[in-house]
Amino acid sequence: MSDTPAVSVNHLTKVFKGHLGKGAFRAVHDVSFTVQPGEVYGLIGPNGSGKSTTMKAILGLLNATEGDTRIFGIPSMEVASRRSVGFLPENPYFYKHLTGRETLHFYGKLCGMSGDELKSRAEEMLALTGLEDAATRRVGGYSKGMLQRLGLAQALIHEPRLLVLDEPTAGVDPSGSRIIRDLIIEFRTRGITVLVTSHLLEQMQEVCDRVGIMAHGRMVREGRLNELIAVENQTELVLENASPDLLAKIDALVKAEGGGTRLLRSGHPRTTLERLFIEATNEPKKP
């Protein structure tokens, strides 16, 4: 696999100019991170933390005020960088007069696909997202979950190496949400890099290899999920066949005793991503 990161964000700062007497607004401040090929990277943060702005900058929809963003080494502002990326925006809508299949054909044609290649790819995506039965229905009649899955299908139509998913489970019921989570896991097994934002932290914990937590436009935590959620000042002991008495004398026994009692693992117990998120985002704002 190539050493070039799938996504690299270097000292990204985005300031929106003020209009009609309003001052300028700094949405993102000196944010840096990379997403390696094949990773699932979660970008999380409260509303207004700068996640969407960062994503838009990565996709070339916004110009960076300072710093730069690249997709597989190509600057995001170059249209060519979008050959490798598929994007699912939050709560997507599509042209209501088109059917699901026509929608996929439309996006495929925009990517330069045509003929049998496009047709078979569209059918493959409809099957993957479970929309085969709804393929001939107009998108105007789709439920939110179906729109979200169609959004995933259109994002994947041109076989991108990177998927950018903005709140892919927003407004979707638990079963629809689980389907999307399973799809993300499936993408990882197929070597597709995924950059995802979500408020469903339990799900993020299940699917992400690495996470970045943003607050007030800054990256406040970033790294491998397992390392981030490890509690440094505590030690976890996992015992097998331990009696209640043994538990009371555990320190001494572990040091002195062998026999049937074994120390299986020693390390740091994990907190949850949710707890880490709340802790990180409630820290006082830096000047």
**Sites for another protein among residues 242-271 (CB under 8 A):** none
Quote the DSSP letter at residue 269: P
User: Strand pairing of 193-197 and 162-166?
Assistant: parallel
Provide the β-strand partners of residue 166. 197
Kindly state whether residue 164 participates in binding another protein, applying the rule CB under 8 A. yes
Q: Which of 100, 145, 151, 212 binds another protein (CB under 8 A)?
A: 151
CA dist., res. 31 & res. 16, Å (int)? 16
Contact 106, 112 (CB under 8 A): no
Q: Which of 50, 92, 100, 212 binds another protein (CB under 8 A)?
A: 92
Please choose, from the candidates 283, 282, 281, 276, the residue with its C-alpha nearest in 3D space to the C-alpha of residue 205.
Answer: 276
CA dist., res. 46 & res. 26, Å (int)? 16
Q: Which of 9, 31, 156, 201 binds another protein (CB under 8 A)?
A: 156
Q: Which element (helix H / strand E) includes 29?
A: strand 25-35
- Give the range of 147-155, 173-181, 217-225, 263-271 binding another protein by CB under 8 A: 147-155
Q: How far is CA 147 from CA 104, 170, 205, in A?
A: 12, 11, 24
State the nearest-atom distance from the C-beta of 176 to another protein, in Å.
19
Of the pair 59, 276, the CB lying nearest another protein is at: 59
Kindly state whether residue 109 participates in binding another protein, applying the rule CB under 8 A. yes
Contact 212, 41 (CB under 8 A): yes
Q: Which of 107, 146, 203, 228 binds another protein (CB under 8 A)?
A: 107
User: Strand pairing of 218-224 and 25-35?
Assistant: unpaired
Contact 129, 168 (CB under 8 A): no
Of the pair 82, 221, the CB lying nearest another protein is at: 82
State the nearest-atom distance from the C-beta of 156 to another protein, in Å.
8
- Give the range of 158-166, 256-264, 266-274, 276-284 binding another protein by CB under 8 A: 158-166
Of the pair 88, 134, the CB lying nearest another protein is at: 88
Per-residue buried b or exposed e for 63-84, using 16+ beta carbons within 10 Å of the residue's own CB: ebbebebbbbebebeeeebbbb
Q: Which element (helix H / strand E) includes 27?
A: strand 25-35
Kindly state whether residue 41 participates in binding another protein, applying the rule CB under 8 A. no
- For 73-127, where are the E strands, in sequence order? 74-75, 85-88
Of the pair 74, 246, the CB lying nearest another protein is at: 74
Count of residues of this chain found to bind another protein when the rule CB under 8 A is applied? 57
Kindly state whether residue 216 participates in binding another protein, applying the rule CB under 8 A. no
Q: Which of 7, 12, 62, 207 binds another protein (CB under 8 A)?
A: 62
Please choose, from the candidates 74, 70, 46, 47, the residue with its C-alpha nearest in 3D space to the C-alpha of residue 58.
Answer: 70
Kindly state whether residue 100 participates in binding another protein, applying the rule CB under 8 A. no
Of the pair 195, 273, the CB lying nearest another protein is at: 195
Kindly state whether residue 118 participates in binding another protein, applying the rule CB under 8 A. no
Kindly state whether residue 69 participates in binding another protein, applying the rule CB under 8 A. no
For another protein, the binding residues (CB under 8 A) are 1-2, 4, 16, 37, 56, 59-63, 72, 74, 78-98, 106-107, 109-112, 114, 124-125, 128, 151, 154-156, 158-161, 164, 190-193
